[in-house]
Each structure stands twice: as structure tokens, then as C-alpha cells.
Chains A and B, each alone.
Chain A
Amino acid sequence: MRIHIQNGLLIDPAHQIEDIHDLYINDGQIVSIGKAPDGFQADQVIDAAEKMIFPGLVDLQTRLREPGLEYKATIASETRAAAAGGITTVCLPPDTSPILDTPAVIELIHRRNEAAGCAEILTIGALTKGLAGEEISEMYELKRAGCVGVTNARAPIANTRVMRRAMEYAANYDLTIFLHADDHSLSEGGCAHEGVISTRLGLAAIPEAAETMAVARLLMLVEQTGVRAHFCQLSSAKSVQMIHRAQYDGLPVTADVALHHLYLTDMDIGYFDSNCHVIPPLRGQRDKSGLRDGLLNGTLHAICSDHQPHEPDAKLAPFCESEPGMSTIDTLLPLALRLADETDLSTPDIISLLSFQPARILGLDIGHLGIGARADLCIFDPEARWTVTPDTLLSQGKNSPFMDWEIKGQVVQTLLAGKTVFKR
């Protein structure tokens, strides 16, 4: 299958390209940019005039809810929503049911995705068996089964010795460890950032120290064990400073931020809007600015969705009793691009944070439009306008904190390895 995409504004941060170029795809790979290869006969011509072409996005954390929680969402529903949002690769954390701690479960996911999937699924295996934080998992087996890294997700590892051993063992197999910085003893039972809002509303609070304490502890262990470490979804300005300092001191750690922490603060909880119940919690205005600064100064390397679709019931409860998490996969790209209006980040910077940089964190040759690369890309209409409603969200989870927001820009077509997986 030969595809010719014409007249689109190509944005490929990995190769510093930001110009109108034609793009040629053959057999799922990008074969040329600008000029047609000799003898290229297109089977399909896509006109992308007035549109932008981005590398397919790589989302470092996406909950698909399958296996185990299919009443919330499925691989089919969420990879389709991902494709509609321009995302061609999603990373699935291991807190599924059953937990991703054996090759069998991982194989099951890939098998199901072959049948239904509209995006590539990468799995991040469990760091400890059953995520129980006590015994390290069979990381070699997990790696062989295709895991791109290991993590304990948000399940606590109380015992520092176990954490240290797990890091050493991961380093042994050259596995990246994905860290969710949380001192469980400080955050347990909490549902909102400790500050004026939690004080006013009487909500059990999660102090900033729950994150910074854990960042400090984990940084020390990373330094000692030499593991390749990535910090997931930092929420506080202080954590960004600590990571920045560690990087300055030569520790090669990377970090990402969830998009909602760049737009929302605890003020958005209003009078107990359970769609704003998320862990780590929405923090203060200063944290929001600190996270944006972290993107600008290069401390944070990626923006992820931290997508967590829920069935309506999960949010039909008083704030703290509702299940945490937001459905964000549909809004990731257009809202991230809005940062170009609100910060000094350029559109290519933002695309890089959504594609090339997360791919590098994963150590994979995706997230760019180089010759020979897998043809993962999306065609984006920057002028399309739409409103976030339960109907416009493709995710099965309608628990978006951005409900009723007016959005500018929309993906019109997404290709995964040259195959159209979504078309509006």
C-alpha cells in the first residue's frame, strides 16, 4: 500500500521540520519527504491542505481497563479514542486485573489488541508480584514478553529495602523503572491537595510532602542503584525543582506531567466536583506554574494523559468516596497545543513532548517522521472547533474534568504503520 499525503504542514520535532511537505508511505513505512521516490505510484492520495501532520503521539500512561474492568472501558473503546486523539502508542500500567506480572497476561492483551485495537499497546510490567510491594517480579520474563519497563504504579512499596532490590534487579536487565512518587503513609485516605480548598471543604488532604518525600527517597536510591528511572505525573512545583537539581548534578532521570495538572488546580473542585478527584491531586496555582516551567526548562520530558476512564457510577458519590481519575485521552492533543498560546512553548516543542520525547524515554524508534520510520502519524485540523460533551468524547469514560470546554483543533485522520485507524 502506497500513500501520498499532500500539502500538509509537517511538524517533526525530531528532525526540526516545520514546513509544508508531501509525505510518501510504502508498506507501513515513511519512504520519502518532499519528493516522490522514483517510480512511486500512490494507491491512495490524502489531501492535507490547511492541515498539520504530526508524528503519532506516544502516551506514557493510559488505562484501558481491560482486562478486568471492562464495565469501565475496553481495549477496543479506548484505543479507538486514542486514535481519534492522534495517539498511536499507549503505555498500559500493570494495575489491571489480573495484574501484569506474568507473560501470560501480557500476551492476552496483545492478542486482544490484534483483534480490536486501533493503537499500539506497550505494557509496563509489575515491579513487585501482585504489586504487593513485597517480592520482586520476574522482570526477565516480563521483558521477554515485551514490557518496556517496570513499575509498581501507585501501589506502595513501604519497605525501602524491597525498593532498592527492585531497582537493582531492573538495572540488571536494563529495564526502565517508572516511579510514582508517593509516600503512602502521608497520602493515605486523602483526596485533595492540602491547602485552602481542602481546609474550606473539609476534605482529607494530601500534603505536598507526600510527593516530595518520595521523590527525595527515590532519587537517593536511583543514584545508588544506577537504574534508569522515570518519574511519572509529578504534581508539585517542589518536586520539579528537586528533579531539576538531580539532573543538574548529573543523575539521568526523566519525568513527565499529566496534562490536567497543567490546566487545573484545586480551585476547580468548586463545590465537590468529583470529576476533579484525581491522584496525585490537583494542586495549587503555584504548582501549576512550576510544572509549566518544568516543561520550558527541560526538567519534564513528556506530557501524558494519565487517562482513567470510569463508568458513571464511579463518580456518583461524595467527593472522597468517588473513584479517582479522569478521562483525558480525547482532549490530550488539542489542549496540549493550547499551551502554545499560554506559555513560551512552540507547537513543535509541544508535539515533541507528546511524541518524540516519550518515545526516547521508552527507548523506542517511534514518535518521529524520519525516513524509514514506521508510518505512525496524525492529520490535524487546527481550525476545527468542538465542545467537550459526553457525545463528543469517544472514550467510554465520560468523566472529563474539561466537560463543556470549547476546544480548538481536532484530529481528522490517524495512521498506524501506514494503516488508517481513524478517520473523521
Chain B
Amino acid sequence: MKQQDIQLDSQGRLRHFLTIEGLKRNILTDILDTAENFSTVGTRNVKKVPLLRGKTIANLFFEPSTRTRTTFELAAKRLSADVLNINISTSSTTKGESLLDMLRNLEAMHCDMFVVRHNASGAAHFFAKHVAPHISVINGGDGSHAHPTQAMLDMFTIRRHKQDFTKLTVAIVGDILHSRVARSQIHALTTLGVPEVRVIGPQTLIPKDAAGLGVHVYHDMKEGIRDADVVIMLRLQRERMQGALLPSANEYYRTYGLSPSKLRLAKPDAIVMHPGPINRGVEIASSVADGPQSVILEQVTNGIAIRMAVMSMVLGRGPEEEAEE
């Protein structure tokens, strides 16, 4: 069944930002270029531009996340928007009409944008389908489905270090099965023309038909990381460290953790990334996380510029006309 992509408006511009999947390369590079412009704002005397003055952005977090919420909030505030943080505990999770009632209430407060984070895959699409037409939805992470702003900040970080996407080998290591970050990264990397995207992990943490996403699957870390330009480590949720998926955090670290010796198999100038928060000694050795090849803190900084870019692109659509003066 062919569906109109609900995240684009009639002119093909971003109306919502729900997933990377299906977006054309030029939209992704526009996001990166716009973010480049915003990246200097944080270094100025007044760390604010008046672009979204008078706009109201509601952060709807159904899942706790201090860092993502903070960077969205900071991004919105640097654009001079008013920000509403609404944490909805999953225990009291509202469903059906009551959920829509909540949306209607926020709409009645004249919100212009919802940033939604939810533990169910498809939640952002669900909200986008049901909001009033003047409201935009940005996916702040939905279940195991997508985390598009995280993927874009990762692309931004990669581009700053590697320039040309079409010559790269990128390895994504860890729990691909449950990772919305990995899914969005894979779509972003393949759309931007990365010829070799690898996913590395034990069979229990790689989804069936992962190859259908356009990646090469490796179960042996040493093989998969060889000659990589970019190594992305994924966070392993604590509840998955033991049980039927993995025997123990120790064994995971020995087989799939990024140690200095394993990193030596990648290209000498390879960069190491991690969406955070890091489990030191589980996914990655402290010496690697804090080492010269790590760009993990840059990722955090870049997250603000990317979110400013997405928010301003989505809220700043308008009829195509030449800027005049």
C-alpha cells in the first residue's frame, strides 16, 4: 500500500520530522547545512536568535530522558521559542480519547510544535496523524522505531570529521534489535550515500532481515570493525544484559565491547561515537570513550544545532518566494 509521506507538505518540505526513512538526500543535507549555521550561536555573547520568537513548543515526554529533553529545550530556547515540558508517566499512560483530549488541550493553548518521546514504536506517527493541521510533530524517539534528530546529529558529527560520505565504511555495534538510533542512522547513512554500512552484534540482538535495510551483518566484531572510518557504539540497556538475549555484561564486553585493541583494527583516523549515556566497561572501554578518537562530547554539542535546524525548518516553511530587499 502506497501512502503519502505524512511528514512532507504538498511542496515536499518537512512538515513533521518523524523518521529519516523516505526523505531525500537534499532534505538531509539542508538539515546539516542549516545546523552548520546554528552551530556558532552557542559560542556568542547572547546565545539566542529571535527566529521562533512567539512560538510555543511542547516537549511531550512519555519516557524519561534528561539529555534528549534538555537539548530539545535548549535548542528551542536558543531560537527564542517558549518551551513547555510535559512529562507523562507511562503508568498513567493515557490512551484513545483521553490521549487525544490531552492533545486538544495543548492545541487550545496555541502550541505550534510537539516534540514527542514515547516507548511505543509509531507513537510519533500516531501524534502526527491526529494533531491539528497547523501543528508540527518532531520525533524525539519512539520505541525501537526511530530517533531521527539523534541520527542527524551523528551525521553532522561524521561530516565535520570525514567530509565525503560516499567514501566511508561505518560500523554500528551492539543492540540493533531494540535500537531506534541504529535504525535512523542506517537510513541516514544509506541516503547520504555511504557505500558500506555494517551492523555488528550477536544474533540475539540483530533483527531478522536486517540485511533488508541495506546493511552488512557481522557477528564477529573483529571482522566487522576492520578498516572502518566510523565506529558507532550503541547503548546496551541494563535489563538486556542478562537473560535470554545475553549471558552477562562481562561476556558482552569481551566479545562486542570496544577495547583499544579492537579499535586498532579500524582505520587509524577512525572516529568513535556513542549516543550516550555510556555504560563504561560494557559497550566501551573508558580509555576509548575518553580517548583522542572519541567524538562523543561533540555529538552532544552538535545535538543542539541539529535540533535548532530541524525546528526552524519545520516551523519556518512558507510559500516559495525570493527573499526581497
Do A and B contact each other directly (Cβ–Cβ < 8 Å)?
yes
Interface presence of B32 (CB below 8 A): no
For B145, give the chain A residue with the smallest CB separation: A202
User: Does B96 contact A314, Cβ atoms closer than 8 Å?
Assistant: yes
User: Are the C-beta atoms of A316 and B96 separated by less than 8 Å?
Assistant: yes
Contacts of A272 in B (CB 8 A): 121-122, 125-126
Smallest CB-CB A-B distances: 5 pairs: A313-B96, A202-B144, A272-B122, A202-B145, A318-B120
**Is residue A201 contacting chain B, with contact meaning CB distance below 8 A?**
yes
Bound together, the chains give a CA A271 to CA B3 distance in angstroms of 8
Q: Could you show 21 A-B contacts with beta carbons less than 8 Å apart?
A: A195-B208, A196-B212, A198-B208, A199-B209, A200-B183, A201-B122, A202-B143, A203-B121, A203-B144, A207-B208, A268-B1, A270-B3, A312-B97, A313-B95, A314-B96, A317-B95, A317-B96, A319-B122, A319-B126, A320-B143, A321-B120
Tell me if A313 and B97 are in contact (CB < 8 A): yes
Choose among A194, A204, A270, A318 the residue that contacts B1 (Cβ–Cβ < 8 A). A270
- CB of A199 within 8 A of CB of B212, answer yes
Whole-angstrom distance from the CB of B18 to the nearest CB of chain A?
8
| Number of cross-chain contacts by CB at 8 Å | 87
Q: Which of A195, A207, A271 has the most CB of B within 10 A?
A: A271
Residue-by-residue, is B119-130 near A (CB-CB < 8 Å gives 1, otherwise 0)?
Answer: 011110110001
CA gap between A161 and B134 in the complex, in Å: 59
Q: Looking at A267, A268, A316, which has the most chain B CB atoms within 10 Å of its CB? A: A316
Considering the complex, give the chain A residue whose CB is closest to the CB of B186: A200
Picked from A267, A312, A314, A320, the residue with its CB within 8 Å of the CB of B122 is A320
Least distance between A111 CB and chain B CB atoms (Å): 32
Tell me, rounded to whole Å, the shortest Cβ–Cβ distance linking A211 to chain B: 15
Report yes or no: B209 in contact with A203, Cβ–Cβ below 8 A: no
Inter-subunit contact B121/A202 (CB<8 Å): yes
B residues near A198, Cβ cutoff 8 Å: 207-208
Chain B proximity of A288: nearest CB distance (Å):
14
Contact A201 B97 (CB under 8 A): no
- Tell whether A10 is near chain B: CB-to-CB under 8 Å: no
List, in ascending order, chain A residues with CB within 8 A of B126's CB: 272, 317-319
**Residues in A neighbouring B143, C-beta threshold 8 A:** 202-203, 318, 320
- When chains A and B are docked, how far (Å) is the Cα of A319 from the Cα of B100? 15
Shortest Cβ gap from B125 to chain A (Å): 5
Is there a chain B Cβ closer than 8 Å to A205's Cβ? Answer: yes
Q: Which of A271, A313, A320 contacts B125 (CB 8 A)?
A: A271
* Bound-state Cα–Cα, A203 to B120, Å: 8
| B245 interface residue per 8 A CB criterion | no
Cβ contact within 8 Å between A202 and B183: yes
Say yes or no: A318 contacts B123, CB within 8 Å: yes
Known: A203-B121, A320-B143. 20 other contacts (CB 8 A): A194-B208, A196-B209, A199-B213, A202-B121, A202-B142, A202-B144, A202-B178, A203-B143, A205-B207, A205-B208, A272-B126, A312-B97, A316-B99, A317-B120, A318-B143, A319-B120, A319-B121, A319-B122, A320-B121, A321-B95
Query: How far apart sit A72 and B283, CA to CA, in the bound complex (Å)?
Result: 48
- B211 → chain A, closest Cβ, in Å? 9
The residues of B that contact A312 with a CB separation of less than 8 Å are 96-97
Task: Return chain A residues, CB-CB under 8 Å to B63.
Answer: none
In the complex, A397→B196 CA distance in Å? 48
Question: Chain A contacts of B82 at CB under 8 A?
Answer: none
Let me know if B210 is at the binding interface, CB within 8 A.
Answer: yes
Contact between A199 and B96, CB atoms less than 8 A apart: no
With a cutoff of 8 Å between Cβ atoms, the chain B residues found around residue A203 in the complex are 121-122, 143-145
Nearest A residue to B212 via CB reads A196
Evaluate whether A271 and B6 lie within 8 angstroms (CB atoms) in the complex, with A203-B121, A316-B96, A317-B96 already known.
yes
The A30-83 residues at the B interface (CB cut-off 8 A) are none
* CB of A193, distance to nearest CB on chain B (Å): 10
Per-position binary interface string of chain B over residues 174-217, scored 1 when its CB falls under 8 Å from any chain A CB and 0 otherwise: 00001010010000000000000000000000011110110000
B98, chain A: closest CB distance, angstroms: 9
A200 close to B121 (CB less than 8 A): no
Distance A318 CA – B146 CA, assembled complex (angstroms): 13
Instruction: Indicate whether B117 reaches chain A with its CB closer than 8 angstroms.
Output: no
Closest chain B residue to A267, Cβ basis: B1
Q: Mark A313-357, 1 if CB is under 8 A from B, else 0.
A: 110111111000000000000000000000000000000000000
Residue of A nearest to B178 (CB): A202
Q: Which of B99, B100, B146, B208 contacts A202 (CB 8 A)?
A: B146
Say yes or no: is B21 at the interface (Cβ < 8 Å to chain A). yes
- B118 adjacent to chain A (CB < 8 Å): yes
Q: Identify A200's interface contact among B21, B95, B97, B118, CB under 8 A.
A: B21
Give which listed residue, B6, B21, B142, contacts A318 with CB less than 8 A.
B142
How far apart are A183's CB and chain B's nearest CB, in angstroms?
14
Task: Report the Cα distance A395→B79, complex, angstroms.
Answer: 50
Q: How far is the CA of A202 from the CA of B210 in the complex (A)?
A: 11
In chain B, positions 129-156 with a C-beta closer than 8 Å to chain A are: 130, 142-146
